[in-house]
């Protein structure tokens, strides 16, 4: 598995429907979105990327898009071990819309996601096999149920594994399912006919610079 994400979204309604209807993002609106998410930074436009390749940009690069119904920002600085600690200005930027944070990293089998409704945290989960469950706040979403019920275990192979997997499921499996539930697309696995094709959703690219005119870190 090689899926990685660092994705923040502000949604008015169903994100999948908004992404299916999305055309080219508006440069002015997307620049304003980037300014709200990264206050005090200058965002210089650079080459964009499709969503399927933009979910975990290199350091110093941000991909973002403002579409009708959903704003999306992909940036490594949006990754938090405990999603509930999302900075206040990022919640304020939602202006009452739903906030969705999704982050995962295939090297450490780490997953974190969280959802806020009207500024209130309703669900936050962060876990990895080495760190265990760092955060588990709120009621699980329906798509999580088979995983917590033990119906999606990681198969133990004594020829390759020294001991059984430390969690009742693989975080990246759940992370991929969360992507589909929240955004309507997958990064790995076989997409369903009704899924969003992330390789046709365009995002704009930005290089961020702090007030000192040095690249932001």
CA 109 to chain centre: 15
Q: What is the pTM of this model?
A: 0.92
pLDDT for the residue 159: 60
pLDDT in tens, 20-70: 999 999 999 999 999 999 998 999 999 999 999 999 999 989 999 999 999
Confidence of residue 8 (pLDDT cuts 50, 70, 90): very high
Q: What digits encode the pLDDT tens for the residues 115-164? A: 999 999 999 999 999 999 999 999 999 999 999 999 999 987 776 667 88
pLDDT (0 to 100) of residue 36: 95
Collapse the DSSP code of 93 into the 3-class scheme (helix H, G, I; strand E, B; otherwise coil) and give the result: coil
For 59-101, write each residue's pLDDT tens digit: 989 999 999 999 999 999 999 999 999 999 999 999 899 999 9
pLDDT of 1 over the 50 cut: no
> 182: Cβ–Cβ under 8 A, 6 or more apart, which residues?
9, 15, 100, 102, 113, 115
- Who contacts 11 (Cβ-Cβ below 8 Å, separation ≥6)? 18, 69, 70, 71, 97, 98, 99, 100
């Amino acid at each position: 598995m090689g899926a990685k994400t660092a994705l923040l979204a502000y949604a008015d309604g169903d994100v999948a429907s908004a992404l299916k209807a999305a055309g080219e993002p508006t440069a002015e609106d997307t620049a304003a979105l980037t300014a709200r998410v990264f206050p005090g930074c200058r965002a210089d436009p650079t080459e964009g990327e499709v969503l399927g390749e933009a979910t975990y940009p290199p350091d110093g690069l941000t991909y973002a898009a403002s579409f009708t119904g959903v704003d999306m920002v992909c940036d490594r600085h949006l990754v938090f071990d405990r999603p509930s600690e999302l900075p206040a200005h990022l919640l304020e930027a939602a202006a009452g819309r739903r906030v969705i944070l999704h982050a995962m990293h295939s090297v450490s089998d780490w997953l974190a996601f969280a959802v806020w409704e009207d500024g209130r945290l309703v669900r936050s989960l962060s876990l990895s096999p080495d760190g265990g469950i760092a955060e588990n706040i709120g009621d699980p979403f329906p798509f999580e149920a088979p995983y917590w019920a033990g119906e999606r275990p990681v198969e133990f192979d004594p020829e390759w594994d020294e001991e059984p997997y430390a969690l009742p499921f693989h975080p990246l499996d759940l992370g991929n399912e969360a992507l589909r539930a929240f955004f309507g697309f997958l990064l790995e696995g076989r997409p369903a006919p009704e899924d969003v094709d992330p390789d046709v959703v365009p995002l704009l690219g930005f290089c961020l610079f702090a007030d000192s005119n040095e690249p932001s870190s």
